[in-house]
Chains A and B, each alone.
Chain A
Amino acid sequence: MNSKKLNKFLTDKFGDKIGNLFNEIILSFITSLWFMILMFPIMIIKVNTIDQTIIWRWHNLIYIGAGSFVLSYLWRKALKLKEMKSRTEENSKKSFSLSESLSNLSESKFHYPAMGVTLLLFILIPVFSSLYQTTVLSSALIYVMLGLGLNIVVGLGGLLNLGYVAFYIVGAYSYAMLNTHFGLSFWVALPIGALLSTVFGILLALPILRLRGDYLAIVTLAFAEIIRLILQNEGDIFGGPSGINNIEPPSFFGFEFGLDGKTVLMYYIILFMTIFTIFVIFRLENSRIGRAWQALREDEIATKSMGINVTMTKLTSFALGATWAGFAGVLFSAKTAFINPDSFTIWESVIILCFVVLGGMGSIFGVAIAALILYILPESLRAFAQYRMLVYGISLVLMMIFRQGGIIDVKRKHYKLPDNIKAD
């Protein structure tokens, strides 16, 4: 019996309200039974073939049953709501939502003082927080930069780049090698690292840009893995699996700093670079090239017919995305003073992608906030850290199904025709 027949049978018998309730309960019950069977071997039985033991965790069965009963109900409710919402949106375009008020907020006049306060807060943080917290925040800001850079490629350009970490590697290794082999200082290496990364981005993009979206994703992933394998295996040049250490931290006009001072200095450099990134991307977003990226994301063929050079536009998006990864890479190796290939796995790209997707593809503030929260939360809540990737995975799926726009949904630019102009 399929679900529609069941629903009709129940509503005929018990009336609309109670019938629907019964129907929901039966459906949830079936789902929970299904999950209890499905997850039985992996969740209940834990085998250890090294110690030759089997642990039976029967209590998990109750959690699965109860959890999937509730979640299945919520799931159907959410799907129904989504369907209803898309239907009402077709009828009347006007609807009020939290995201809209949030994105309105970022356009209103209120936004400059708010930005000033946030900036002041970030500047003052090292003064009243511990060294550890400052370090964590520095790492989080590097991820903000990476997220914003990937946002150019994925969010604005609509090119799914799963190998973003490759450009991060180029930045990190170029400073590490320029510094340890040639003694170049941080300030000289910073632009060089970014430039190398950009060049690398262009070289990589040239052959693959004509590929379709999903193929592009998988080829970029392959490139990142090839580069990581090269780093891992060429011990003479890149230090192999043990990587490169003793990378100098940045200096500042010849001042000498203690360990604390160096950490704080690093924090300010990273903060400055992050603000610089936000500023540049903010300016880029509504520029000619930024509009071209967004047009490309929405419809490639339409963009082409508007006279935009698609290849060039894609290339700039790829290359500019790579530039920021290069900056972030140099900052990363200056901050940690030690790098090895293990810091640059595929999962690093995927995590950055999570920040972009959850923050809202194309939204600068959304991505920045998502990266900050999603990086700091697992760092500060150790109990949560274990479930970090699990939660990322679930939220990627849920976001795609229920809220493709992310936390902060970017409104498409649109112009209103004045009333006196009427189309014939």
Chain B
Amino acid sequence: MQLEYFISLLLGGLAKGSIYALIALGYTMVYGIIQLINFAHGEIYMIGAFTALIFSTVITYTMPDTAFLINVGISFTGAIIFAAAYGFTMERIAYRPLRNAPRLSALISAIGMSILLQNYVLLAQTPDFLPFPSLVPNFSFLEPIEYIVSSNQIVIIVTTIIVMILLTLLIKFTRVGKAMRATAQDKTMAQLIGINVDKIIAITFVIGSSTAALGGVLISSNIGQINYYIGFIAGIKAFVAAVLGGIGSIPGAVLGSLILGLTESFGSGYISSDYEDAFAFIFLVIILIFKPEGILGRKDNQKV
């Protein structure tokens, strides 16, 4: 019994951490390239989840005969495409004009964007919690141990691993990835050797937003309900995870997310569930005070 409880907490924590990882990847990529804490990133995650809800509901109510897998496919693709489009538009409107402005201006603009997107969904949709359909198939081979691990959790963990591997490959070995690394190091120099910096930044936003949307749909399908506010706290926690792992580093983001997910899971399982949300914040404060560059991050000196 004790062992089963431990394993279920472990897997729950891993699943939770994987979701944070999917959001944190976007944070870390954007921060790595333009040194901006994109506050509105959590909102993109929420919009992804909402889009999936809308697509799947429309399909279920208007065409009840559609196969489950087709429904799932359309919902996921729709969510990812629309979230990516929102990320792209957001960068174009709120961040591109501030490329050369002081850092705090861009940060305040990001906070404004976050409030804007939250209230946009609140006004256009609903302030209430909406039930979210299960968009992950149930694996029959998991039935005997279902009380320990659900199909949802397995899908979440596997998806995160795949996304992380793909992103690492993209950044290490493709032309776009190379251009991204160059832009992150030195924007002016990158421009001089013929890299379209604006385009690379836009691509970064699109990739980050798609992974966030993927995470949004998966977690909403696991929890079973959403509202307009889910993005904010998730976004902050993912940011904490990104900082914990060393902001700007992709394996760091995943590592940090898993540590945070496990801490939350074990903390609320063995200590107190009242303070589940506080663990992330306490973590953040401690890391930033003692090791601001994170676990896998590199220390950078402030230049004049």
> Chain A: residues with CB nearer than 8 A to chain B?
34-35, 37-38, 41-43, 45-50, 52, 54, 79, 158, 160, 162, 207-208, 211-215, 217-219, 221-223, 225-226, 229-230, 232-233, 301, 346, 350, 353, 357, 386-387, 389-390, 392-397, 399-401, 404
Residues of A within 8 A of B126 (CB): 46, 48
B103 at the interface (CB under 8 A from A): yes
B145 at the interface (CB under 8 A from A): no
Residue-wise, chain B 231-257 has the 8 Å CB interface mask toward A (1 for contact) of 010001001100100000000000000
Given contacts A46-B125, A225-B277, contact A301 B113 (CB under 8 A): no
Residues of B within 8 A of A215 (CB): 243, 288, 292
Contact between A41 and B112, CB atoms less than 8 A apart: no
Nearest B residue to A206, CB-CB: B289
Residues of B within 8 A of A232 (CB): 274
Q: How far is the CA of A233 from the CA of B273 in the complex (A)?
A: 10
Residue-wise, chain B 96-134 has the 8 Å CB interface mask toward A (1 for contact) of 011001011111110111111111110111101011110
B213 at the interface (CB under 8 A from A): no
Contact between A229 and B275, CB atoms less than 8 A apart: yes
- In this complex, how many residues of chain B approach chain A with their Cβ under 8 Å: the count is 69
Extra contacts, 14 of them, besides A34-B89, A42-B51, A50-B130 (Cβ < 8 A), are A35-B89, A41-B51, A42-B54, A48-B126, A158-B104, A214-B107, A219-B285, A221-B236, A223-B281, A233-B275, A353-B111, A387-B119, A389-B119, A397-B116
Contact between B112 and A396, CB atoms less than 8 A apart: yes
B304 at the interface (CB under 8 A from A): yes
Contact between A400 and B108, CB atoms less than 8 A apart: yes
A83 to chain B, nearest CB (A): 10
Contact between A400 and B106, CB atoms less than 8 A apart: yes
Give which listed residue, B78, B116, B128, contacts A390 with CB less than 8 A.
Answer: B116
Contact between B115 and A350, CB atoms less than 8 A apart: yes
Given contacts A213-B103, A396-B108, contact A41 B288 (CB under 8 A): no
Which residues B244-290 have CB closer than 8 A to chain A? Answer: 274-275, 277-278, 280-282, 284-285, 288-289
B6 at the interface (CB under 8 A from A): no
Which one of A35, A47, A79, A212 has the greatest number of beta carbons of chain B within 10 Å? Answer: A47
Nearest A residue to B121, CB-CB: A42
B15 at the interface (CB under 8 A from A): no
Residues of A within 8 A of B128 (CB): 50
Nearest A residue to B304, CB-CB: A301
A29 to chain B, nearest CB (A): 16
Q: How far is the CA of A219 from the CA of B284 in the complex (A)?
A: 7
Binds A, one of B57-65, B149-157, B159-167, B182-190: B57-65
Which one of B58, B62, B98, B112 has the greatest number of beta carbons of chain A within 10 Å? Answer: B112
Q: How far is the CA of A42 from the CA of B44 in the complex (A)?
A: 13
Given contacts A218-B239, A389-B119, A392-B112, contact A54 B58 (CB under 8 A): yes
Contact between A48 and B130, CB atoms less than 8 A apart: yes
Residues of B within 8 A of A47 (CB): 53-54, 57-58, 125, 130
Nearest A residue to B53, CB-CB: A47
A47 to chain B, nearest CB (A): 4
Residues of A within 8 A of B130 (CB): 47-50
Contact between A353 and B108, CB atoms less than 8 A apart: yes
Contact between A49 and B58, CB atoms less than 8 A apart: no
Contact between A38 and B112, CB atoms less than 8 A apart: no
Contact between B101 and A400, CB atoms less than 8 A apart: yes
Q: How far is the CA of A226 from the CA of B108 in the complex (A)?
A: 22
Residues of B within 8 A of A233 (CB): 274-275
Given contacts A43-B124, A214-B104, A218-B239, contact A208 B288 (CB under 8 A): yes
Q: How far is the CA of A324 from the CA of B198 in the complex (A)?
A: 43
A-B contact pairs, 28 of them (CB 8 A): A38-B89, A41-B82, A42-B50, A42-B120, A46-B125, A47-B130, A49-B57, A50-B128, A54-B57, A208-B288, A211-B289, A214-B37, A214-B107, A222-B236, A226-B281, A226-B282, A229-B281, A389-B119, A392-B115, A393-B116, A393-B119, A394-B112, A397-B112, A397-B113, A400-B105, A400-B109, A400-B112, A401-B97
A269 to chain B, nearest CB (A): 32
Residues of B within 8 A of A396 (CB): 108-109, 111-112, 115
B47 at the interface (CB under 8 A from A): yes
B227 to chain A, nearest CB (A): 12
Q: How far is the CA of A42 from the CA of B105 in the complex (A)?
A: 29
Residues of A within 8 A of B232 (CB): 346
Nearest A residue to B112, CB-CB: A396
Give which listed residue, B78, B118, B123, B274, contacts A387 with CB less than 8 A.
Answer: B123
B93 at the interface (CB under 8 A from A): yes
Nearest B residue to A215, CB-CB: B288
Nearest A residue to B57, CB-CB: A47
Which one of B50, B109, B128 has the greatest number of beta carbons of chain A within 10 Å? Answer: B109
Contact between B51 and A218, CB atoms less than 8 A apart: no
Q: How far is the CA of A211 from the CA of B243 in the complex (A)?
A: 13
Q: How far is the CA of A404 from the CA of B304 in the complex (A)?
A: 23
Contact between A397 and B62, CB atoms less than 8 A apart: no
B94 at the interface (CB under 8 A from A): yes
Contact between A222 and B285, CB atoms less than 8 A apart: yes
Residues of A within 8 A of B116 (CB): 390, 393-394, 397
B188 to chain A, nearest CB (A): 19
Q: How far is the CA of A400 from the CA of B132 in the complex (A)?
A: 37
Give which listed residue, B131, B277, B284, B302, contacts A218 with CB less than 8 A.
Answer: B284
Q: How far is the CA of A19 from the CA of B130 in the complex (A)?
A: 50
Q: How far is the CA of A239 from the CA of B292 in the complex (A)?
A: 36
Which residues B30-54 have CB closer than 8 A to chain A? Answer: 35-37, 47, 50-51, 53-54
Chain A to chain B: the 9 pairs with minimum beta-carbon distance, closest first? A396-B112, A393-B116, A393-B115, A222-B281, A397-B112, A390-B119, A400-B109, A233-B274, A47-B57
A63 to chain B, nearest CB (A): 11
Residues of B within 8 A of A397 (CB): 93-94, 109, 112-113, 116
Which one of A38, A46, A54, A226 has the greatest number of beta carbons of chain B within 10 Å? Answer: A226
